[in-house]
A = this chain, B = another copy of it.
Amino acid sequence: MKINVLFSPATADELYFTGKTTVVIDVLRATTTIVTALQNGAKEIVPVATVEFAVKISGGMFGGQTLLGGERNTKKIEGFALGNSPLEYTEEVVSGKAIVLYTTNGTKAIAKAKFSETLVTCSFANISSVASFLSGLNKDVEIVCAGRSNNFSMEDSVCAGKLISEISKLNEELYLSDSAKASVALNKSFGKNILKMLEESEHGNILLDNGFEEDLKYCSKLNSSSAIPYFTGNVLKLYTDNKNSSQTGKEN
């Protein structure tokens, strides 16, 4: 089982992902928000790469059961029901709803990886579940760090390293690329105190400046969810393991 990490979605094109097993990570905040929304009963998340497309499909396809969510430069987009704070995606708000989600980095990275054979999202909230899922598949894995404006971000890379460390506990025969080895080392250097790492990161600083201190605390929680957001038919849904559905959190 080979594991590779892309520190930026910019280093690969859409076709690179064809037929691959891919994990997208955007700790601050898209993939933390996605797992929270699905855990809280959202029917599905539609990740989109442009605001225009988000507005277009929310108007027609989904009727009254659709919410528009997302952010540009950390702030909620005008006319959208929700921003990109996972704390907004409570059961009361999202239960039973389809959510069309646009974010600056995360949903773009998911959309880019859409030709993957298997595509799931990960954050600190669900590392353990995603590690079990990938280890069970036992296929080569590409981990895509959404980063920030195509640049490296510490939090996504540390999360990738922690995910690889978890997989290595379940699967002894791992071949790690340079970037995968680097991620594991970064998790050892910075992953012991996740909240501190987030607070000292570039993106964390911007969120703190914009009043999202509680979001950082929430995004730093490790394995608070057993849900696995799984991309199928252009939407993210909760992954259901038919053999043992209790492993994968709240099911629809």
Contacts and interface: CB of A to CB of B under 8 A. Distances in A.
Interface of A: 5-8, 10-12, 150-154, 157, 177-179, 181-182, 185-186, 188-190, 201-203
21 contacts: A5-B152, A7-B8, A7-B152, A8-B8, A8-B10, A10-B11, A11-B11, A11-B151, A11-B152, A151-B179, A152-B178, A152-B182, A153-B178, A154-B182, A177-B202, A178-B201, A178-B202, A178-B203, A185-B190, A188-B189, A189-B189
A182 B153 CA distance: 9
Given A150-B11, A151-B11, A152-B5, A182 B186 contact: yes
A179 B157 CA distance: 10
Nearest to A148: B178
A182 B151 CA distance: 13
Sort A-B residue pairs by CB-CB distance and give the 6 closest, nearest first: A154-B178, A152-B179, A185-B189, A11-B150, A10-B11, A8-B11
A91 to B, nearest CB: 34
Nearest to A158: B182
A6 to B, nearest CB: 8
Contacts of A179: 151-152
Contacts of A154: 178, 181-182
A190 B181 CA distance: 10
Contacts of A7: 7-8, 152
Nearest to A153: B178
